[in-house]
Amino acid sequence: MAFSFRGRSINKVGVIGSGQIGPDIALHFVKVLHGFDASVVVVDIALDALEKGKSKLFKKIDKGGQTGAFKPDEVEGMKNHVLFTSDYNKLKGVDLVVEAATEDLPLKKRIFRQVEELVSKDTILTSNSSHLEPERIFDELKLKGRSLCTHYFFPAERNPAIEIIPGKDTNRETTEFMMRFYEKIGKIPIKVGSRYGYAVDPVFEGLLLACVQCVDAGLGDTKQIDYVASKALGLTVGPFTAHNLTGGNPITAHGLSEMHESLNAWFRVPDRLKQLLESKSDWVVPGRGEKIEVSSEQEKQISEELMGAYFAIVCDMLDAEIITTSDFDLLISVALDMKPPFSFMNSVGVKKAFELVENFANKYPPMPVSKKLKEQAASGNPWEILDVLFEKQGDVGIISIRRPKALNALNSKVFKELNTYCDVIRNDSGIKAAVITGFGNKAFVAGADIKEMAGLTDPTQGEHFARIGQIASAELEKLGKPVVAALNGFALGGGCELAMCCTARVAPKGMKFFAGQPEVNLGLIPGMGGTQRLPRLVGFARASEMIRTAKPISSTQALQFGLINEEVEGDVLERAIALAQDIAHGRLTPKPMEMGPVPNSPDELPDVDIGHLSRAIDALAVRAILEGGKMTLEDGLKNEARLFGQCWTTEDNRIGLKNFIEKGAKSKAEFVHR
Ligand code: CAA
């Protein structure tokens, strides 16, 4: 079975360069593609680099085998699908090339001249450059439309962030394909405009410079600055330590000197970095667990200076319009695992952030003061950071929930943003139908946000939370235009409930763990319509079993039960768009949801074994299902929200939510049935 996606097959991937990052990139591809019998070829002219790269990659595979991350047949399968070679001819037949050679423009150009002669005209050519604009790397290609930059982050096989940088000649189809392809194989691709250093490296490298400036200004030594930087910016390790660990000093020096020319003259190679490189030494950094003494005044000064630098650098990129606030926050939090810049500014106050930038720019000219930051501070509003994205494709509006770190869980912010887009769709006469989907390849939506619900304290708050979710999701039902749910991954709890508000639902074929109402595991009942719409869609017996036992069902069962309309072999989003158009243009009419009381609704439910689950919560679930069957959908929802709130009168509610927060989803709560 080949890996086919959006009209392209990926049977063979070429990775050029077996140095620092090439083998890690190859490992990610072989991990996700070997099951489709797709192979990965790593090419390098240096035999010792090939040897080292292969040994590093195989060691990581073996380690995965030992820890249980990979099954024994996967270990073998992965090793059998990767080839390390010095023979460029082995690139013949590749569908995708990722060049990961040294950051050297003439070298990269030479490689692509050679590669273009070997591959077909449809092969996509990408460079894992960390700085160079695609227009410069690919300017000698005959077919430039299929080329772009793809910037991975350390460690490339595990860090999901990836910057996608199309050049002025890259065609839209290539960019769109690469964005969706990386999402499909588990990455978090973020599109960034073509500019030297893209979005992340001016932050990573600029913060090292800002730290050196703090040392030069006598605010502390490298250990103290590193310690305060990690604390102030929410980094796992400070910039000096990060540079030591990644061997990043030479490339940062090169990047800073280029940014001096291409971005602004604040960027420069500080003398301390030059000396460090000449003496081939590392930064002096705190040892593991070492206690670093810093006075509170010193800590304040260092923190404010670094925040000024951080905010100045990111806002300058906003002015350059290469990235949005929402994308930048997600990218930085995933790629560098540090405080996302715009949320960070919101938390300290945008006005305060502006003052910090002004102070920094006055102290270190010619750092520019961002126009957009100035305007935002003057507006008195926080930055807008969206967790729900919207785009139009022809006459279809596409809503996408993007909270990858919480598996797209629904919180109050998401509900608000969903409402906004429902209004957009309703009021745009050019939009005839809509599709709702989740970001990534794992979850459509993993439910209502459990961390937010754990902060609720009484039945009134519980009921209110449920009503907000019910009303936001019912907007889809009442839109007056068809909405198809493209269930790109599992749909649990509020996710399944959101999907049930849609006109139709499609899911990937063969998902074993697909949909369910797992609320009872948490000492809750479904609160976004699960007890009302699920019986109306799949019947009372099946619905009550799913709700009362929390057992998930497969996509095949979902189709048999009538929960989804189709299982899809290819891309669910593409299929959902086509289906939405068919419904909008009258070519198909899915069965509508029963809005009145359910004819012949039962007075009691079949027995089910609820095992360790709470009998107190089960009683509320049974009431919501049975009482709701005899009501209109509208009244049933209100009743469900009230009973959802009643969960907060039980001890088991506290036990279930606390168990998830403290021990995670896999741990079983010890309910007391009260
Ligand atoms: N809310 C908030 N965060 C969630 C979440 C949710 N519903 N589901 C998952 N997450 C978070 C996890 O806490 C975790 O965060 P950290 O990395 O910070 O710990 C992250 O997403 C990844 O989750 P896992 O590590 O658990 O990933 P996994 O692949 O091992 O398991 C899963 C995935 C099966 C979805 C599992 O996370 C799970 O069972 N989640 C809970 C699903 C659930 O119970 N949904 C119903 C919510 S209640 C509801 O929806 C009420 C309603 O009707 C209104």
Span from the CA of 650 to the centroid of ligand 1 (angstroms): 22
Among 565, 591, 412, smallest CA distance to 486 is for: 565
Q: Please report whether residue 487 resides in a domain.
A: yes
pLDDT tops 90 at residue 51: yes
Instruction: Decide whether any atom of ligand 1 lies within 6 Å of the 407 Cβ.
Output: yes
pLDDT beyond 80 at 416: yes
Any atom of ligand 1 within 6 Å of the Cβ of 239? no
Question: Tokens 């400036």 appear where?
Answer: 213
Of all residues in the chain, the percent with pLDDT exceeding 70 is 100
Tokens of 291: 């206690």
At 561-604, the pLDDT tens digits run 999 999 998 899 999 999 999 999 999 999 999 999 999 999 99
Same domain (yes/no): 370, 415: no
- Indicate yes or no: pTM above 0.75: yes
**Pocket of ligand 1 contains residue 237 by CB under 6 Å:** no
Instruction: Kindly give the distance from the C-alpha atom of residue 665 to the centroid of ligand 1, in angstroms, as a whole number.
Output: 6
Q: In ligand 1, which atom is closest to the CA atom of 518? A: 44
- What tokens does 219 get? 């605010």
The reply to whether ligand 1 has any atom less than 6 angstroms from the CB of 657 is: no
Cβ–ligand 1 distance for 404 under 6 Å, the answer no
How many angstroms does the Cα of residue 489 sit away from the middle of ligand 1?
13
Q: Do 211 and 99 belong to one domain?
A: no
Could you read off the pLDDT of 175-226 as tens digits, one per residue? 999 999 999 999 999 999 999 999 999 999 999 999 999 999 999 999 999 9
Does any domain span residue 672? no
Instruction: Tell me if 671 is assigned to some domain.
Output: no
Does 409 sit in the ligand 1 pocket, CB within 6 Å? yes
Total residue length of the chain: 674
CA of 409 to the centre of ligand 1 (A): 7
- With residue 176 as reference, give the H or E element that holds it: helix 172-184
Gap between the Cα atoms of 462 and 620, Å rounded: 14
Tell me the best of 402, 407, 441, 549 to mutate to test the pocket of ligand 1, counting ligand atoms within 8 Å of each CB and taking the most. 407
Q: How far apart are CA 174 and CA 231, in angstroms?
A: 40
Q: Which of 156, 191, 226 is the last residue of a domain?
A: 191
Domain limit, last residue, from 353, 379, 405: 379
Q: Which pLDDT does position 248 carry in this prediction?
A: 87
Cα(648) to centroid(ligand 1), Å: 20
Residues 158 and 227 in one domain: no
| Same domain assignment for residues 109 and 134 | yes
Give the total number of structural domains in the chain: 3
Say yes or no: 421 and 507 in one domain. yes
| For ligand 1, atom 26: residue with the closest CA | 665
Residues 253 and 206 in one domain: yes
Q: In whole angstroms, how far apart are CA 352 and each of 70, 210, 331, 348, 521?
A: 48, 19, 23, 6, 43
Same domain, 420 and 274: no
Average pLDDT in the 268-279 region? 96
State the catalytic residues: 497, 519
Shared domain for 475 and 603, answered yes or no, is yes
Which of 439, 442, 445, 450 has most ligand 1 atoms within 8 Å of its beta carbon, as the pocket-test mutant? 450
Are 176 and 232 members of one domain?
Answer: no
Give the structural domain span for 266: 201-379
Sign of CA dihedral 465, 467, 472, 476: positive
| 543 CA → ligand 1 middle, Å | 21
CB of 523 shorter than 6 A to ligand 1: no
**Which ligand 1 atom is nearest residue 449's CA?**
1
List pLDDT tens digits, range 347-370.
Answer: 999 999 999 999 999 999 999 999
In ligand 1, the atom with minimum distance to the C-alpha of 495 is 50
Q: Tokens 């270990």 sit at which residue? A: 75
**Is 674 among the domain residues?**
no
Q: For residue 123, give the nearest of 196, 36, 1, 41 by alpha carbon.
A: 41
* Mean pLDDT value of segment 631-651: 97
Q: Is the CB of 449 under 6 A from ligand 1?
A: yes
Residues 473, 538, single domain; the answer is yes
Mean pLDDT of the chain: 95
One domain, residues 155 and 222: no
CATH number for the domain that contains residue 537:
3.90.226.10
Q: Is the CB of 497 under 6 A from ligand 1?
A: yes
- Among 379, 405, 436, the domain-final residue is 379
pLDDT at 75 over 80: yes
Q: What local confidence, expressed as pLDDT, does residue 7 receive?
A: 86
Share of the chain above pLDDT 90, in %: 96
* 617 Cβ closer than 6 Å to some ligand 1 atom: no
pLDDT for position 289 = 85
Is any ligand 1 atom within 6 A of the Cβ of residue 519? Answer: yes
416 Cβ contact list (under 8 Å, min separation 6): 472
The verdict on residue 673 lying in a domain is: no
Quote the ligand 1 centre to 641 CA distance (angstroms).
Answer: 21
**CATH number where 223 lies:** 1.10.1040.50
Other C-beta atoms lying within 10 Å of the C-beta of residue 505: 28
- CB of 232 within 6 A of ligand 1: the answer is no
Label residue 308 by pLDDT band (50, 70, 90).
very high
Structure confidence at residue 513 as a pLDDT band (50, 70, 90) = very high
User: Above 90 in pLDDT, residue 2?
Assistant: no
363 and 404 inside one domain: no
- pLDDT tens-digit map of 429-487: 999 999 999 999 999 999 999 999 989 999 999 999 999 999 999 999 999 999 999 99
| 1 has pLDDT over 80 | no
- The answer to whether position 227 is within a domain reads yes
Strands (E), 34-81: 39-43
Which residue is closest in CA terms to ligand 1's atom 21?
406
Residue 79 lies in a domain: yes
Contacts of 150 (CB under 8 A, 6+ apart): 98, 126, 127, 128, 162, 163, 164, 165, 178, 182
- Is residue 669, in this structure, part of any structural domain at all? no
Residue 417 alpha carbon to ligand 1 centre in Å? 21
Give the nearest ligand 1 atom to 451 CA: 2
Whether 323 contacts 199, CB under 8 Å: yes
Q: What CATH number has the domain bearing residue 152?
A: 3.40.50.720
